[in-house]
Structure 1
Amino acid sequence: MSALTKYKNIIATVLSLLLISGCEELEPIPGQPWRVSVVTPSFYPIKITQAYGVNEEQDWTMPLHGLAQTMRESELESVRTVFPDYDGFGFPISRLTSARGRQLGSANKHLPDSIYIYWTSLINMRFFVTKYDLPQKVKEIMSKGVSFERYDGSLGSCFRTEFFFGMLPNGKAKVWLMGCDQLIYLAELDPAREKDRDQNGTTADEYRQGPTPTPQRVQQRGIEAGVSTIPIPWEKVGKVYSRDAVELLSEQ
């Protein structure tokens, strides 16, 4: 092989490596790991049986630990310590009123393409699967740091990396992105699927017979509060309670 040919091969290899490196840098990677939180109206709690993120290109599935039961976090008196005027029907969006999921194993800053949540509506014993596909714009927002001034006067960066899912007893869900004193409304989702049992194989009859909170026990919340929760007053359900103003994705 001539010296000129070797030189051309070296140049081609270097250019290929630079191209690969440039593509990797273009991939949105937040400065903090992504998280998922779930909130429900206090009168319509749910149970989560499985949650995970999927990245198709990198071929991984990341389970989320901690997203299981929202009964305790959604108790009316507990929520009112954060939002004193909470009516029990809306979404109380706060880290203090939600079930919060974190990744298993080492922190993975690479974003998923989709997030799946399998859950049971305890007021009517219906089993849903919620799927959220992350748009490219959302990935870019999550990967972009927002500057802020620390108490000592130095500058730092924060990242908007926490998804909040609000679940309703008809299977619909709303999704927000939280971080840096912002709450950005992303989408309203129809259930991706409705099943005849939860992800553990437990049926509605087994829920009613076992130690898991039954529809009657859930309805007791409304009875104790002196309000009617059945039939569901849809005109009241879904109001957002948040310390941060709700912004739209189109405004970002």
Structure 2
Amino acid sequence: MPVLNKYRKTLITLLALFLLIGCKENEPLPGKPWQVSVVTPSFYPIYITQAYGVNEEQDWTMPLHGLSLSMSKSELANVRTVFPDYDGFGLPVSLLTGVRGRQLGSANKHLPDSIYIYWTSLINLRFFVTKYDLPQKVKEIMSKGVSVERYDGSLGSCFRTEFFFGMLPNGKAKVWLMGCDQLIYLAELDPAREKDRDQNGTTADEYRQGSTPQRVRQRGIDAGVSTVPIPWEKVGKVYSQDPVELLSEQ
């Protein structure tokens, strides 16, 4: 009987622990709501047709707006105001060179389980879907504050809540977590899917009938460089004002 009571107490303790962990995972972020930014090489801009976050357990989908990635944002001259030595091929990771997607409606501080981005690579007119599944460790980092000194000398907490995606013309994507003067490299993703048209139903032939593909190629011509075939050894370079840290170091 004493042994049975001992096991019962152990089970109750474990159950309480699991419930506590589950509740903690469902808590909203203590800082600002999560956001998503996207950047591309200047010579290889993209067009985003849809982006959203999904939380399976809470059964919600949160659309993101503002991720149109205008051509002007990735212009070589614009990027060089932030990174003077930028060559046009690498990924210039900065809030001043990327485009930020904000949640539609009221800001949801609960984290998604996955983030989806549907986009078109304009240099080769290929259509990709990027999916990033948030590991538990990333959720914990986002919920944990970093001590910072305010302008008045007092101490406060800063939270890392910005997902930063760097899109490459072969459909691959690099993902970082940005905030509090940190840039944490999370993963390199293969495309979750490649489609024969964008999310609006526009095909490659229809894109070619417009002026955008020619404007994209003109960027390399104006800069006096060859952008096709793609020099992959240059495209993989990352430009950042903050030191790039690894998730394993956190």
Both structures adopt the same fold (TM-score exceeding 0.5)? yes
* Residue 169 (1) aligns with residue 166 (2): no
Specify the alignment match of 1:236 in structure 2.
234
Q: 1:25 to 1:228 in 2, by over 3 A?
A: same
Tell me the residue number matched to 1:108. Answer: 108
- 1:54 maps to 54
Deviation at 1:19, TM superposition (A): 8.9
Q: Which residue in 1 is equivalent to 2:218?
A: 220
Deviation sequence 1:156-212 (CA, Å, 0-9, x none): 11111101100011000000000000000000000000000000000011111135x
**Quick check: 1:70–1:98 contact (8 Å CA) kept in 2?**
no
Deviation at 1:73, TM superposition (A): 1.0
- Cross-structure match for 2:4: none
Q: Determine the structure 2 residue equivalent to 1:29.
A: 28
Q: CA deviation at 1:24?
A: 2.2
Offset of residue 17 of structure 1: 11
Q: Matches of 2:152 and 2:210 in 1, distance apart?
A: 54
Distance 1:23 1:189, change over 3 A: closer
Structure 1 residue 69: Cα displacement: 2.4
Flag structure 2 segments of 5+ consecutive residues without an equivalent.
1-14
Alignment of 1:1-252 (within 5 A): 23-27=22-26, 29-30=28-29, 31-210=31-210, 213-214=212-213, 216-252=214-250
Q: Which runs of 4+ in 1 moved over 3 A?
A: 16-23, 25-29
Q: Aligned partner of 1:191: which letter? A: P
Aligned 8 A contact 1:28 1:139 in 2 = no
1:130-161 CA-partner distances (Å, limit 9, x unpaired): 00000000000001011111111111111111
Output the amino acid matched with 1:153: G
CA shift, 1:62, in A, is: 0.2
Unaligned runs of 5+ in 1: 1-15
Partner SS, residue 29 of structure 1 = coil
Deviation at 1:32, TM superposition (A): 1.4
Q: Aligned partners of 1:241 and 1:70: how far apart in 2?
A: 20
Count of matched residue pairs: 235
Pair 19,164 (structure 1): closer, same or farther in 2 beyond 3 Å = closer
Native 8 Å contact 1:90 1:237 kept in 2 = yes
* Paired letter, 1:241: Y
Partner Cα distance (1:157, 1:225) in 2: 44
Amino acid paired to 1:251? E
Q: Is the 8 A contact 1:41 1:238 kept in 2?
A: no
Shift of the 19–178 alpha-carbon distance from structure 1 to 2, 3 Å rule, reads closer
State, as a whole percentage, how many aligned pairs show the same letter. 83
Q: 1:137, 1:174 → 2: CA distance? A: 18
- Specify whether residues 157 and 201 from structure 1 end up closer, same or farther in structure 2 by C-alpha distance, changes over 3 A only: same
Secondary structure at the residue paired with 2:79? Answer: helix
Separation in structure 2 between the aligned mates of residue 84 and residue 150 of structure 1, nearest angstrom: 29
Deviations 1:226-252 (A, max 9, x none): 111010011111211100000000000
Give the residue type in structure 1 aligned to 2:172: K
Q: Match for residue 6 of structure 2?
A: none
The 3-state SS of whatever aligns with 1:164 is strand
Deviation, structure 1 residue 18: 11
Offset at 1:111?
A: 0.3
Q: CA RMSD, aligned part only?
A: 1.8
Q: Which residue of 2 aligns with 1:11?
A: none
Tell me the secondary structure at the aligned position of residue 228 of structure 1: coil
Q: Secondary structure at the match of 2:186?
A: strand
* One-letter code aligned to 2:101: G
